[in-house]
């Protein structure tokens, strides 16, 4: 590959100055026009029939313009399984589900009016544990499951609460267990977590009398919002405009379409007005996607030499009240169910089960944190049972070039061994340090892998406009929520166009003007959008050469472009500036040659396939990104407090388009992982979310975040732009199991769930003492 | 109609006289009346630090202060930190160290950092941790933030 100029350099973020000066525009910072403020009336029970809603007093409240209930607005929406309405229609399925929405001239009036709405419920038996919900006699949460529209790669079981049963069968599981010297079985549990981006969900809509709907949204995916609204409301796509701003953190909770459609009927009643809703912190925690809880059972067959011969993995996911998006997490975890390991015989059953808890949905890692918690804890159990080095067990079974995933997909372009080794070396693996009085030290390691969980037809596209002075505008549909997309994509454009990056303008999307992008999810944008941008740049460059050849009367193959001018390599005096190319009239005659240069690039994966419905075999992965986490902890046996002494994180980025931003992402993901490992657990009591603010739901702050040593490996991704692959979610995946493995190493206690709070650790130490072990 | 009172104050070096609604928070006043939207709301109840501004040089969560309390005081928001188009050292250091991702916590972070440096020009890691422990960053830019503050030390 020719030497790279921009890709691989740590240029400052494109959004840097705006973000440090407070001028970066988030949705709530825009003045949009005359405004009505919306507030939701939420259900006070988890599962009930709605017998009556009386909004008469709310409607009379001064300043109130409209009250909308589900009866007036039964339209359905959903990404993969259309199982949701914007407002509860005949029944509520979780505590806090919106049953009505009020629009008023002030926020106060709207909030006061909400209190005046009276809702009569008839409570129904509820399901709060998916292991109960999966039973044949469980109360049914979605009676009409059979009628819901669904993408045909999911397998709901109408008449039950199973929204998807993903099956995977690889090799011969019985033979695999026969070949084993030892069978190891464990149960694991991962609780719900919340994303808590510091910016909550927000949306505004406006209806124009000519039938155009404009939507401003914090959504990660404007094009998906447009597509889902178009289907749900039966409005053609060109009549829906979705505008993005900077997004104050996404982490999956702003994927798909959530609150954008809620206010449309009110907007239609008040054309020209902007109807806006801003979720409070509490609403954001309780009313948007949570990470689905997972109850899992693993059974592994292993030979004396440490080789795993068989894996049986059962996953029961708490899909919550609606699983329009969650069904795909369950699928992704299923087809990835061997984690970073090559296991010849696999039987996996992954169930998405409706419950009356908050809605499950995508979170950074998309099922991988939950599923690989089990895998990485199980690897540790295997090493302990066999008295082998956990690092060696991982390397022995770890994926290598040409290995196959659980789905039977062959993996390429990886160096998993090295991902493990760098973090092991950093924490001086194998050298056990002794702690001070009453403190125990231990080291732990965990590997990780993730591919984007996207449909095989998830597409990207890009347009590049070359200006008359040789500067350029890159137009794409990806969103900027902190991941650094604007910067990385400009660097790819700059590299491909041979134009300096400061001559490239790039903005967040507006579906009326920017080309299609599926979603900014799954750590896919650098790869997918990056590829379409590279193609658009090559297209633009091709046009520049073509016009220049005509203009300069020189064969194209003799021409070169140095970022300023196009010249003949044979005779540098034969040259034209970009401006001359853009104007493109023959000098001597004034005859026109071509108009302005506009490059276009489209991308859709060509290496993915559907999966066999019975065996789950096929190619679900666009690319696979590997990494590892290594930690050293000290545990205070008196208090149960875990201190993280060393935290090392590696990721194979293929090519770090911007090493500094790549490292920042690596740190950010590792910290989120650490935060979930030690603190985060959403608690429910009969479906009521108990911890709905930052005091009760603690996340990592600066004073409890240790130093992180990061390692970016670069095993090029053959088909990725300049060898790059996405890394945004991955660093989170290995942290919780690495910490639990280290605590296990320190205390000789196996933890099969997290967070490892002081209470939980202290209790386990006490239980161990009492049992005399 | 809500009761209003007249308040006099300085904002980013400029003297101002405005009406403030009794009961409205300072956060709301700054965003909706002064139209300085750099200050952000992340929780509204004093738990996240996204709404930090400097009142008489001290960092406060503006969601917990009433607008009328601004009377007679000096307010600095993120918009007032750069002077004549020159970024403050902390702002530049945040850029150099990639000390933010989504940028939503950033105005509050930078102002908390500025107040710390004004008070303690050479803060230790422990000083930084203490001063910024009320500013949450879900993107997890903490290591970079520490680096940026260290790099802005000494002035
Ligand atoms: S908004 Fe004020 S502390 Fe969170
Ligand atoms: S940069 Fe996103 S919350 Fe701090």
Q: pLDDT digits over A70-121, tens only?
A: 999 999 999 999 999 999 999 999 999 999 999 999 999 999 999 999 999 9
Question: If you average pLDDT over residues A292-307, what whole number do you get?
Answer: 98
CB A697 within 8 A of CB A194: yes
The pLDDT of residue B155? 56
Closest residue of chain A to B102, computed from CA coordinates: A482
Among A556, A575, A603, the domain boundary falls at: A603
Least CB-CB distance to A694: which of B47, B96, B139?
A: B47
Residue A539 belongs to a domain: yes
B42 lines ligand 1 (CB under 6 A): yes
Residues A496, A614, single domain; the answer is no
Residues A538, A648, single domain; the answer is no
Residue A275 pLDDT > 90, yes or no? yes
Q: B44 to chain A: which residues are within 8 Å by CB?
A: 280-281
> Which among A542, A613, A76 is positioned nearest to A334, based on CA atoms?
A613
Q: pLDDT digits over A178-231, tens only?
A: 999 999 999 999 999 999 999 999 999 999 999 999 999 999 999 999 999 999
| Whether B78 and A21 lie within 8 Å, measured CB to CB | yes
Q: How many domains does chain A have?
A: 3
Least CB-CB distance to A198: which of B82, B138, B146?
A: B138
Q: What's CA A657's distance to the chain center, in Å?
A: 20
Residue A1 pLDDT > 70, yes or no? no
Question: If you average pLDDT over residues B83-112, what whole number do you get?
Answer: 97
Using CA atoms, how far apart are residues A54 and A31, in angstroms rounded to an integer? 34
Confidence of residue B22 (pLDDT cuts 50, 70, 90): very high
Residue A419 pLDDT > 90, yes or no? yes
Q: How far is the CA of A481 from the centre of ligand 2 (A)?
A: 9
Our CA-based measurement puts residue B32 at a distance from the nearest CA of chain A, in whole angstroms, of: 10
Residue A715 belongs to a domain: yes
Closest-lying ligand 1 atom to the alpha carbon of residue B49: 3
What's the per-residue H, E or C state across chain B? CCCEEEEEEEECCEEEEEEEECCCEHHHHHHHHCCCCCCCCCCCCCCCCCCEEEECCEEEECCCCEHHHHCCCEEECHHHCCECCECCHHHHHHHHCCCCCCCCCHHHHHHHHHHHHHHCCCCCHHHHHHHCCCCCCCCCCHHHHHHHHHHCCCC
| Whether A661 and B98 lie within 8 Å, measured CB to CB | yes
| Whether B43 and A694 lie within 8 Å, measured CB to CB | yes
Radius of gyration over every alpha carbon of chain B, rounded to an integer in angstroms: 15
Residue A308 pLDDT > 90, yes or no? yes
Closest-lying ligand 1 atom to the alpha carbon of residue B40: 1
The SS3 call for residue A436 is coil
- Atom 4 (ligand 2) nearest CA: B137
Closest-lying ligand 1 atom to the alpha carbon of residue B43: 4
Q: pLDDT digits over B32-51, tens only?
A: 999 999 999 999 999 999 99
Residue A434 pLDDT > 90, yes or no? no
CA of A672, nearest ligand number: 2
* One CATH from 2.40.110.10, 3.40.50.2300, 3.90.550.10, 1.10.150.120 for B89-151: 1.10.150.120
Residue A196 belongs to a domain: no
Confidence of residue A649 (pLDDT cuts 50, 70, 90): very high
Q: A11 to chain B: which residues are within 8 Å by CB?
A: none
Query: What percent of chain A lies above the pLDDT cut of 70?
Result: 99
Residue A276 backbone phi and psi in degrees, to 5: -125, 145
Residue A670 belongs to a domain: yes
At how many degrees (to 10) do helices A735-747 and A368-386 cross? Answer: 30
At how many degrees (to 10) do helices A735-747 and A659-678 cross? Answer: 50
Residue B154 pLDDT > 90, yes or no? no
CB B90 within 8 A of CB B153: no
Residue partners of B85: CB distance under 8 A and separation at least 6 = none
The SS3 call for residue A172 is coil
Residues A410, A524, single domain; the answer is no
> Which among A305, A314, A372, A318 is positioned nearest to A346, based on CA atoms?
A314
Among A569, A603, A637, the domain boundary falls at: A603
> Which among B78, B12, B46, B60 is positioned nearest to A19, based on CA atoms?
B78
Residue A583 pLDDT > 80, yes or no? no
Q: How far is the CA of A752 from the centre of ligand 2 (A)?
A: 31
Closest residue of chain A to B2, computed from CA coordinates: A108
The pLDDT of residue A317? 98
Closest residue of chain A to B97, computed from CA coordinates: A660
The SS3 call for residue A128 is coil
Q: Classify residue A590 as left (phi > 0), alpha (psi -120 to 50) or beta.
A: left
Q: pLDDT digits over A716-749, tens only?
A: 999 999 999 999 999 999 999 999 999 999 999 9
Q: How far is the CA of A197 from the centre of ligand 2 (A)?
A: 8
B36 lines ligand 1 (CB under 6 A): no
Q: Classify residue A722 as left (phi > 0), alpha (psi -120 to 50) or beta.
A: left
| Whether A703 and B133 lie within 8 Å, measured CB to CB | yes
The residues facing A444 across adjacent strands are: A631
Residues A46, A72, single domain; the answer is yes
B51 lines ligand 1 (CB under 6 A): yes
Does the N-terminal peptide bond of residue A755 adopt cis geometry, omega within 30 degrees of 0?
Answer: yes
Q: What is the mean pLDDT of chain A?
A: 96
Can you list the positions of beta strands (E) in A181-291? 182-190, 202-208, 212-217, 240-244, 274-278, 290-291
Q: How far is the CA of B42 from the centre of ligand 1 (A)?
A: 5
Q: Quick one: fold of B4-78?
A: Ubiquitin-like (UB roll) (3.10.20)
The pLDDT of residue A435? 78
Picking from B39, B62, B91, B101 by the largest number of A CB atoms within 10 A of its own CB, the best residue to mutate is B101
> Which among B39, B35, B79 is positioned nearest to B61, based on CA atoms?
B39
Residues A464, A450, single domain; the answer is no
The pLDDT of residue A147? 97
Residues A393, A299, single domain; the answer is yes
Q: pLDDT digits over A194-205, tens only?
A: 999 999 999 999
The pLDDT of residue B1? 57
For chain B, which residues make up each domain, given as ranges?
A: 4-78, 89-151
Residue A499 belongs to a domain: yes
Residues A585, A698, single domain; the answer is no
Using CA atoms, how far apart are residues B26 and A357, in angstroms rounded to an integer? 36
Residue A584 pLDDT > 90, yes or no? no
Residues A348, A230, single domain; the answer is no
A383, containing H or E segment: helix A368-386
| Whether A13 and B98 lie within 8 Å, measured CB to CB | yes
Using CA atoms, how far apart are residues A533 and A657, in angstroms rounded to an integer? 14
| Whether B103 and A198 lie within 8 Å, measured CB to CB | no
Q: Are strands A709-713 and A642-652 parallel, antiparallel or unpaired?
A: parallel
Using CA atoms, how far apart are residues A445 and A487, in angstroms rounded to an integer? 32
Residue A149 belongs to a domain: no
Neighbours of A691 (CB within 10 A): 17
Residues A615, A757, single domain; the answer is yes
Least CB-CB distance to B130: which of A29, A694, A703?
A: A703
Closest-lying ligand 2 atom to the alpha carbon of residue A482: 2
Our CA-based measurement puts residue B45 at a distance from the nearest CA of chain A, in whole angstroms, of: 9
The pLDDT of residue A88? 98
| Whether A701 and B138 lie within 8 Å, measured CB to CB | no
> Which among A272, A141, A142 is positioned nearest to A204, based on CA atoms?
A272
Residue A592 pLDDT > 90, yes or no? no
| Whether A249 and B104 lie within 8 Å, measured CB to CB | yes
| Whether B98 and A660 lie within 8 Å, measured CB to CB | yes
CB A725 within 8 A of CB A653: yes
Q: Does the predicted model carry a pTM greater than 0.90?
A: yes
Cβ density class A4-17: b for 16+ within 10 Å, e for less: eebbbbbbbbbbbb
Q: What is the CATH number of the domain that holds A55?
A: 3.90.1170.50
The pLDDT of residue A676? 98
Q: What is the CATH number of the domain that holds A351?
A: 3.30.365.10
Confidence of residue A773 (pLDDT cuts 50, 70, 90): low
Strands in A308-320's sheet, in edge-to-edge order, are A162-170, A345-354, A308-320, A293-302, A182-190
Closest residue of chain B to A199, computed from CA coordinates: B42
Residues A658, A734, single domain; the answer is yes
The pLDDT of residue A695? 97
Using CA atoms, how far apart are residues B143 and B132, in angstroms rounded to an integer? 12
Q: pLDDT digits over A468-526, tens only?
A: 888 999 999 999 999 999 999 999 999 999 999 999 999 999 999 999 999 999 999 99
Q: How far is the CA of A501 from the centre of ligand 1 (A)?
A: 36
Structural domain range at position A322: 293-454+609-770
CB B77 within 8 A of CB B36: yes
Residues A446, A521, single domain; the answer is no
| Whether B134 and A701 lie within 8 Å, measured CB to CB | yes
Residue A538 belongs to a domain: yes
Residues A114, A249, single domain; the answer is yes
Closest-lying ligand 2 atom to the alpha carbon of residue B140: 4
Closest-lying ligand 2 atom to the alpha carbon of residue B101: 1
What is the greatest pairwise CA distance in chain B?
50
The pLDDT of residue A595? 84
Q: Tokens in use for A720?
A: 């990725």
Ligand 2 binding residues, C-beta < 6 A: A 198, 249, 482; B 100-106, 137-139, 141
């Amino acid at each position: 590959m020719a030497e790279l100029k921009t890709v691989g350099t740590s240029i400052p973020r494109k959004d840097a100055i705006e973000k440090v000066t407070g001028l970066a525009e988030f949705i709530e910072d825009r003045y949009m026009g005359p405004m009505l403020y919306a507030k939701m009336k939420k259900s006070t029970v988890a599962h009930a029939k709605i017998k009556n809603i009386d909004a008469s007093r709310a409607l009379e409240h001064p300043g109130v313009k409209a009250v909308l209930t589900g009866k007036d607005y039964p339209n359905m929406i959903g990404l993969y399984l259309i199982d949701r309405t914007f407002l509860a229609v005949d029944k509520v399925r979780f505590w806090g589900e919106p049953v009505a929405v009020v629009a008023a001239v002030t926020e106060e009036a709207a909030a006061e009016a909400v209190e005046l709405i009276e809702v009569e419920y008839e409570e129904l038996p509820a399901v709060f544990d998916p292991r109960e919900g999966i039973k044949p006699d469980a109360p049914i949460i979605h009676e009409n499951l059979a009628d819901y529209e669904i993408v045909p790669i999911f397998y709901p079981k109408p008449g039950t609460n199973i929204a998807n049963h993903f099956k995977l069968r690889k090799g011969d599981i019985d033979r695999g267990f026969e070949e084993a010297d030892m069978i190891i079985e464990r149960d694991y549990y991962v609780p719900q977590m919340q994303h808590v981006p510091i910016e909550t969900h927000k949306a505004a809509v406006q209806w124009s009398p000519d039938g155009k709907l404009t939507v401003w949204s914090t959504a990660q995916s404007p094009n998906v919002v447009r597509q889902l609204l178009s289907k749900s409301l039966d409005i053609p796509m060109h009549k829906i405009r979705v505008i993005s701003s900077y997004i104050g953190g996404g982490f999956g909770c702003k994927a798909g379409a959530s609150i954008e459609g809620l206010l449309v009927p009110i907007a239609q009643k008040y054309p020209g007005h902007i109807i806006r809703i801003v979720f409070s912190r509490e609403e954001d925690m309780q009313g948007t996607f949570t990470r689905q809880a997972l109850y899992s059972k693993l059974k592994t067959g292993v030979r004396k030499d440490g080789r795993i011969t068989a894996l049986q993995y059962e996953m029961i996911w708490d899909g919550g009240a609606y699983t329009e998006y969650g069904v795909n997490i369950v699928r992704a975890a299923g087809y990835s169910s061997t984690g970073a390991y090559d296991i010849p015989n696999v039987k996996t059953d992954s169930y998405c089960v409706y419950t009356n808890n908050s809605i499950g949905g995508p979170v950074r890692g998309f099922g991988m944190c939950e599923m690989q918690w089990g895998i990485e804890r199980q690897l540790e159990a295997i090493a302990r049972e066999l008295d082998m080095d956990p690092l060696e067990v991982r390397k022995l079974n770890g994926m290598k070039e040409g290995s196959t995933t659980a789905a039977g997909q062959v993996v390429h372009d990886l160096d998993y061994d090295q991902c493990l080794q760098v973090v092991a070396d950093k924490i001086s693996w194998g050298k056990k340090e002794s702690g001070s009085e009453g403190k125990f030290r231990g080291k732990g390691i965990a590997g990780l892998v993730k591919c984007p969980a996207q449909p095989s037809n998830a597409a990207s596209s890009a347009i590049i406009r070359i200006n008359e002075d040789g500067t350029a505008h890159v137009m794409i549909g990806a969103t900027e929520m902190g991941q650094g997309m604007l910067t990385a994509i400009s660097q790819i454009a700059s590299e491909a166009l041979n134009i300096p990056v400061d001559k490239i303008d790039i903005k967040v999307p507006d579906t009326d003007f920017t080309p299609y992008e599926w979603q900014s999810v799954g750590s896919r944008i650098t790869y997918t959008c990056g590829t379409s941008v590279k193609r658009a740049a090559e297209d633009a460059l091709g046009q520049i050469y073509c016009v220049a050849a005509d203009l300069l009367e020189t064969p194209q193959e003799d021409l070169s472009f140095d970022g300023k001018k196009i010249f003949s390599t044979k005779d540098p005096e034969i040259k034209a500036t970009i401006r001359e190319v853009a104007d493109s009239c023959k000098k001597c005659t004034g005859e026109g040659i071509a108009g302005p240069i506009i490059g276009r690039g489209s991308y859709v994966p060509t290496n993915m396939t559907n999966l066999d419905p019975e065996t789950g075999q096929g190619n679900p992965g666009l690319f696979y990104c590997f990494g590892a986490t290594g930690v050293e902890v000290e545990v205070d046996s008196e208090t149960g407090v875990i201190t993280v002494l060393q935290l090392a994180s590696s990721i194979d980025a293929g090519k770090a388009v911007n090493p500094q931003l790549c490292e920042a992402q690596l740190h950010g993901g590792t910290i989120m992982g650490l935060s979930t490992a030690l603190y985060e657990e959403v608690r429910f009591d009969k479906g009521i979310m108990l911890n709905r603010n930052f005091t009760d739901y603690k996340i990592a702050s600066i004073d409890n975040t240790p130093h992180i040593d990061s390692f970016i490996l670069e095993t090029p991704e053959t088909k990725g732009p300049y060898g790059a692959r996405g890394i945004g979610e991955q660093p989170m995946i290995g942290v919780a199991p690495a910490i639990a493995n280290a605590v296990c190493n320190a205390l000789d206690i196996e933890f099969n769930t997290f967070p490892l709070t002081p209470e939980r650790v202290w209790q386990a130490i006490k239980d161990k003492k009492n049992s005399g072990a | 109609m809500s009761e209003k009172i007249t308040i006099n104050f300085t904002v980013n070096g400029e003297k101002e006289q405005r009406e403030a609604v009794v009961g409205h928070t300072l956060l709301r006043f700054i965003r909706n009346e002064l139209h300085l939207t750099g200050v952000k709301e992340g929780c509204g109840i004093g738990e996240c630090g996204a709404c930090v501004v400097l009142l008489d040089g001290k960092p406060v969560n503006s969601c917990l202060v009433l607008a009328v309390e601004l009377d007679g005081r000096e307010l600095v928001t993120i918009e007032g930190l750069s002077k004549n188009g020159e970024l403050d050292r902390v702002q530049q250091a945040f850029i150099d160290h990639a000390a933010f991702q989504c940028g939503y916590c950033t105005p509050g972070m930078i102002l908390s950092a500025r107040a710390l440096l004004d008070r303690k020009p050479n803060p230790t890691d422990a000083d930084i941790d203490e001063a910024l422990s009320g500013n949450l960053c879900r993107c997890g830019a903490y290591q970079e933030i520490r680096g940026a503050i260290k790099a802005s030390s000494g002035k």
